């Protein structure tokens, strides 16, 4: 509680950004181009908003309509985020006209105050077009950013409410206890305050960009993982109490037995998140440490705060339930465990085949960089205005031109003839709709700007293919001797983003896998079991991506899945799937140390750890599934994929695949440490009912 107060008092303020260029290092062409653009063309305004006008009756615009549009655009009262207002541009079909508004000098369009001015612009337009027979909609970068932010805020509220209800209802059903049902809300709420302050300090200290989507993900991580670790402890505590252990001794017993699994699982998740600092992309460098800090605080709380609160609550913890003392008889998990112990080959083969079949479909995964449509609902105004503009004759890239910066690297001045020849060549590139302007810089005679409009939306796969496969090679070839051409714009940024991500996948994933493998080797003191545990987690990752591909690309018909999806599956399915594997294998080792043969140990591990993993998996999967209620296609996709992946991790990998393989490997699974054999002097658990009762807490 003291830490929570200090976090609130000392936490600095951080500003979020949705500009993907802010997350790229300056070694990429698009960023080099923007740096030259700022130096050589300081007066050039970035596109801020585009107003799309058309008639309510869908007829062609008349001269009177165009005059009215001009009058409206000149009379707009704009906030200080906006700059110049261009003259109306009719579409080739004459059915629509657009008015482009630039950003004011020095405005990035990422501050919340800038985005909020979109609402004022829309309100003034609604009043101005009234009774004119015209309809209007505002799109463009600032409007899309505003709609995306609003969608994210709505998502945060929906996810928070759904998560709270899910935790309360499921814990109430599992434990029949009022206090246990609400305890995670208060404990995780306290943890979130501490974590939020520490995250802000880390971002400020290391100058990390803050992605706004992190806040929604943090809700899920804190409540999901926090509730999981609380469950790990509570199930073990209740088991000790049912065996007759007195209250405080049962708390110590639960920390001793569940604590190692919680600490190892939390360590694995922490490492998985922290390896993102190896990414070359600022978005992952920011998200990784933020989530790692949240997990670290949650882990410390699970090993200290949770047992302390349980100790203080005493017998009131399970109120009003009176049956929590009763040993379960003939449970489903006991039957499943007995069946798995008798037929481990069957369970290993079926669960492994299920994961392999889904994994095959991951090969069809097609990443898309269309964050505008993926980041908000398709019925928001910016999406509707863009659709109207494209339907009535405008190029899809008209609201977001793609600048090409031609720069003389030898310090010589460029001539107008050289720039014109270069621009003419660019205009003939397949995928380039038109070259709208070419200008020599007055500040730097060795730099010129050639502005192009692509015939596809700048964030679409087609636009990225145009830039990567045709425009950049053509610009490089057409550049005069001694000059270099940089293709910037949204398309250029995303092409570089894709290249950076491919590099990150080849670095981050192997490093994370290696460190988690080492953690498992240290925990299990084995060189065998960690390998098939990592195999199961890898299959879980591929199966999750394959399932998302089936649902969204093959069934729903989407052209692709958001490019961030694999990294989010890695973050949550791989990291949290390892949690459940660690819990199961720790129980397997414990049962083996009690003298059981490998198959019987697997059966008992499923019987005792199965309910914990099932409850934790249902709550965590349900928590992520709440993202699908946000009305946001990015969060819908992520919610489905991660919740499905958690379900696989809990009910296929940890419940069947891991114990079945461990039963098959037998004693060899623990080579060379053979930690399945109890160390000399270690006593087995005393028989049920022989532990002393606590006169204070038992009454």
Q: Retrieve residue 496's tokens.
A: 């570089």
**pLDDT tens for residues 129-169?**
888 889 999 988 788 778 777 766 666 677 778 778 888 88
pLDDT band, residue 684 (cuts 50/70/90)? very low
**pLDDT tens for residues 566-600?**
888 887 777 777 788 888 988 898 899 888 999 99
Say if CB 679 and CB 359 are below 8 A apart: no
Say if CB 208 and CB 245 are below 8 A apart: no
135-149, 403-417, 480-494, range with the lowest pLDDT: 135-149
Query: Rounded mean pLDDT of 518-532?
Result: 88
Helix (H) or strand (E) segment spanning residue 447:
strand 447-454
Q: What is the pLDDT of residue 15?
A: 56
Q: CB neighbours of 69 closer than 8 A, spacing ≥ 6? A: 53, 61, 88, 97, 99, 134
Give yes or no for residue 376 having a pLDDT over 60. Answer: no
**pLDDT tens for residues 377-405?**
556 788 788 888 878 878 767 777 899 99
Give yes or no for residue 126 having a pLDDT over 80. Answer: yes
Give yes or no for residue 688 having a pLDDT over 50. Answer: no
For all residues of the chain together, what is the average pLDDT? Answer: 83
Give yes or no for residue 687 having a pLDDT over 60. Answer: no
What distance in Å separates the CA atoms of residue 106 and residue 534, rounded to the nearest whole number? 49
Q: What is the pLDDT of residue 680?
A: 62
Q: What is the pLDDT of residue 362?
A: 94
What distance in Å separates the CA atoms of residue 333 and residue 171, rounded to the nearest whole number? 18
Instruction: Parse the chain into domains and list their residue ranges.
Output: 44-146
Q: Among residues of the chain, what percentage have pLDDT more than 70?
A: 88
Torsion over CA: 245, 248, 254, 256 (sign): negative
Torsion over CA: 254, 258, 263, 266 (sign): negative
Indicate the class that CATH gives domain 44-146: alpha beta
Query: Rounded mean pLDDT of 425-434?
Result: 91
What distance in Å separates the CA atoms of residue 280 and residue 277, rounded to the nearest whole number? 8
Q: Residue 679: left if φ>0, alpha if ψ -120 to 50, beta else—which one?
A: beta
∠ CA(203), CA(274), CA(548), 5° rounding?
A: 105
Query: Rounded mean pLDDT of 416-445?
Result: 90
User: Of 640, 490, 478, which Cα lies nearest the Cα of 573?
Assistant: 640
Helix (H) or strand (E) segment spanning residue 54:
strand 47-55
What distance in Å separates the CA atoms of residue 279 and residue 256, rounded to the nearest whole number? 36
Of residues 559 and 676, more confidence is placed in 559
Say if CB 233 and CB 225 are below 8 A apart: no
Burial of 194 (0-12, 13-18, 19+ CB in 10 A): buried
User: Of 227, 228, 250, 246, which Cα lies nearest the Cα of 237?
Assistant: 250
User: Of 605, 588, 603, which Cα lies nearest the Cα of 667?
Assistant: 588
- Output DSSP code: residue 327: P
Strand (E) positions, 185-325?
none
What φ, ψ does residue 107 adopt, rounded to 5°? Answer: -90, 130
Strands 432-440 and 447-454: antiparallel
Q: What is the pLDDT of residue 371?
A: 54
Helix count (H) and strand count (E) of the chain?
25, 11
- Output DSSP code: residue 429: S
Q: Retrieve residue 594's tokens.
A: 């009690």
Query: Rounded mean pLDDT of 679-685?
Result: 55
What distance in Å separates the CA atoms of residue 129 and residue 617, rounded to the nearest whole number? 53
Strand (E) positions, 80-238?
82-85, 89-90, 96-103, 134-139
What distance in Å separates the CA atoms of residue 371 and residue 355, rounded to the nearest whole number? 30
Q: What is the pLDDT of residue 479?
A: 93
Strands 82-85 and 96-103: antiparallel
Say if CB 354 and CB 670 are below 8 A apart: no
pLDDT band, residue 117 (cuts 50/70/90)? confident
Highest mean pLDDT among 184-198, 199-213, 331-345: 331-345
Of residues 346 and 675, more confidence is placed in 346
Could you write out the DSSP letters of every residue in 271-307? Answer: HHHHGGGG-SSHHHHHHHHHHHHHHHHHHHHHHTHHH
The SS3 of residue 77 is: coil
pTM: 0.76
Q: Among residues of the chain, what percentage have pLDDT more than 90?
A: 29
What distance in Å separates the CA atoms of residue 449 and residue 601, rounded to the nearest whole number? 71
Q: What is the pLDDT of residue 258?
A: 86
Say if CB 439 and CB 381 are below 8 A apart: no
Query: Rounded mean pLDDT of 538-565?
Result: 90
Q: CB neighbours of 514 closer than 8 A, spacing ≥ 6? A: none
pLDDT band, residue 689 (cuts 50/70/90)? very low
Of residues 616 and 23, more confidence is placed in 616
Give yes or no for residue 694 having a pLDDT over 70. Answer: no
Cis peptide before 320 (omega within 30 of 0): yes
**pLDDT tens for residues 84-101?**
888 888 888 889 998 888
User: Of 341, 350, 347, which Cα lies nearest the Cα of 607?
Assistant: 341
- The CA radius of gyration of the chain, in Å to the nearest whole number, is 30
Say if CB 325 and CB 176 are below 8 A apart: no
- Output DSSP code: residue 574: I
Q: Retrieve residue 390's tokens.
A: 């494209």
Q: CB neighbours of 531 closer than 8 A, spacing ≥ 6? A: 517
**pLDDT tens for residues 202-227?**
877 776 655 655 676 777 778 878 88
Q: What is the pLDDT of residue 82?
A: 85
Helix, strand, coil distribution of the chain in percent, nearest 5? 65, 10, 25
Q: Residue 191: left if φ>0, alpha if ψ -120 to 50, beta else—which one?
A: alpha
pLDDT band, residue 111 (cuts 50/70/90)? low
pLDDT band, residue 524 (cuts 50/70/90)? confident
Q: CB neighbours of 455 closer than 8 A, spacing ≥ 6? A: 395, 396, 397, 431, 432, 433
Q: Retrieve residue 62's tokens.
A: 């008349």
Chain mean position to CA 436: 37
Say if CB 279 and CB 504 are below 8 A apart: yes
Q: Retrieve residue 119's tokens.
A: 């609402």
Around Cβ 177, how many Cβ atoms within 10 Å? Answer: 19
Q: Residue holding tokens 């621009």?
A: 423
Q: What is the pLDDT of residue 149?
A: 72
The SS3 of residue 434 is: strand
What distance in Å separates the CA atoms of residue 83 and residue 370, rounded to the nearest whole number? 26
- Output DSSP code: residue 159: H
Q: Retrieve residue 606's tokens.
A: 């499923």
Query: Rounded mean pLDDT of 266-275?
Result: 85
Give yes or no for residue 251 having a pLDDT over 90. Answer: yes
């Amino acid at each position: 509680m003291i830490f929570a107060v200090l976090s609130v008092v000392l936490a600095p303020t951080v500003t979020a950004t949705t500009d993907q260029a802010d997350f790229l290092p300056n070694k990429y062409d698009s960023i080099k181009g923007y740096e030259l653009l700022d130096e050589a063309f300081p007066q050039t305004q970035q596109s801020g908003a585009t107003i799309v006008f058309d008639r309510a009756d869908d007829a062609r615009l008349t001269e009177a309509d165009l005059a009215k549009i001009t009058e409206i655009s000149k009379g707009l009262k704009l906030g200080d985020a906006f700059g110049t207002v261009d003259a109306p541009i009719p579409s080739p079909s004459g059915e629509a006209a657009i008015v482009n508004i630039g950003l004011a000098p020095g405005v990035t369009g990422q501050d919340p105050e800038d985005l909020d001015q979109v609402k004022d612009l829309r309100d003034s337009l609604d009043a101005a077009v009234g009774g004119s027979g015209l309809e209007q909609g505002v799109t463009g970068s600032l409007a899309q950013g505003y709609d995306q932010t609003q969608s994210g805020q709505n998502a945060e509220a929906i996810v928070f409410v759904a998560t709270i209800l899910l935790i309360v209802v499921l814990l109430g059903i599992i434990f029949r206890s009022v206090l246990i049902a609400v305890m995670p809300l208060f404990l995780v709420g306290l943890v979130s305050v501490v974590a939020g302050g520490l995250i802000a300090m880390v971002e400020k200290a290391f100058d990390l960009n803050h992605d706004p989507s992190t806040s929604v993900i943090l809700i899920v991580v804190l409540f999901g993982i926090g509730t999981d670790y609380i469950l790990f402890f509570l199930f073990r505590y209740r088991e000790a109490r049912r065996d007759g252990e007195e209250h405080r001794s049962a708390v110590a017993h639960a920390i001793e037995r569940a604590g190692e699994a919680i600490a190892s699982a939390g360590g694995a998740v922490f490492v998985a998140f922290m390896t993102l600092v190896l990414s070359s992309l600022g978005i992952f460098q920011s998200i990784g440490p933020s989530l790692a800090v949240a997990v670290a605080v949650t882990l410390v709380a699970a090993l200290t705060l949770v047992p302390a609160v349980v100790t203080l609550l005493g017998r009131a913890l399970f109120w009003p339930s009176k049956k929590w003392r009763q040993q379960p008889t003939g449970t489903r998990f006991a039957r499943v465990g007995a069946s798995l112990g008798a037929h481990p080959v069957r369970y290993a083969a079926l669960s492994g085949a299920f994961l392999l079949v889904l994994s095959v479909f991951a090969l069809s995964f097609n990443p898309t960089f269309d964050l505008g449509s993926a980041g908000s609902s398709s019925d928001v105004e910016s999406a509707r205005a863009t659709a109207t503009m494209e339907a009535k004759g405008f190029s899809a890239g008209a609201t977001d031109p793609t600048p090409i910066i031609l720069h003389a690297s030898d310090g010589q001045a460029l001539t107008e003839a050289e720039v014109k020849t270069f621009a003419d060549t660019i205009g003939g590139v397949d995928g380039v709709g038109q070259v709208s302007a070419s200008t020599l810089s007055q500040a730097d005679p060795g730099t010129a700007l050639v502005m192009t409009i692509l015939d596809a939306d700048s964030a679409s796969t087609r636009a990225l293919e145009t830039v990567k496969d045709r425009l950049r090679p053509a610009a490089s070839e057409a550049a005069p001797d001694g000059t270099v051409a940089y293709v910037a714009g949204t398309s250029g940024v995303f092409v570089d983003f894709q290249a950076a991500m491919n590099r990150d996948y080849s670095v981050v994933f192997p490093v994370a896998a290696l460190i988690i493998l080492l953690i498992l080797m240290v925990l299990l003191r084995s060189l065998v079991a960690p390998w098939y545990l990592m195999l199961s987690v890898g299959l879980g990752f591929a199966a999750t991506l394959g399932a998302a591909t089936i649902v969204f690309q093959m069934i729903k018909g989407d052209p692709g899945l958001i490019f961030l999806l694999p990294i989010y599956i890695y973050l949550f399915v791989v990291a949290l799937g390892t949690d459940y594997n660690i819990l199961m294998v720790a129980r397997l080792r414990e049962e083996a140390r009690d003298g059981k043969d490998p198959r019987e140990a697997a059966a008992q591990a499923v019987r005792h750890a199965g309910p914990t993993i099932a409850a934790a998996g249902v709550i965590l999967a349900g928590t992520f599934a709440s993202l699908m209620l946000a009305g946001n296609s990015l969060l819908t996709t992520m919610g489905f994929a991660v919740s499905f992946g958690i379900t696989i991790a809990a009910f296929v990998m940890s419940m069947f695949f891991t114990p079945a393989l461990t039963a098959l490997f037998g004693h060899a699974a623990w080579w060379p440490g053979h930690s399945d054999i109890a160390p000399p002097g270690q006593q087995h658990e005393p028989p049920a009912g022989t532990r002393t009762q606590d006169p204070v807490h038992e009454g």
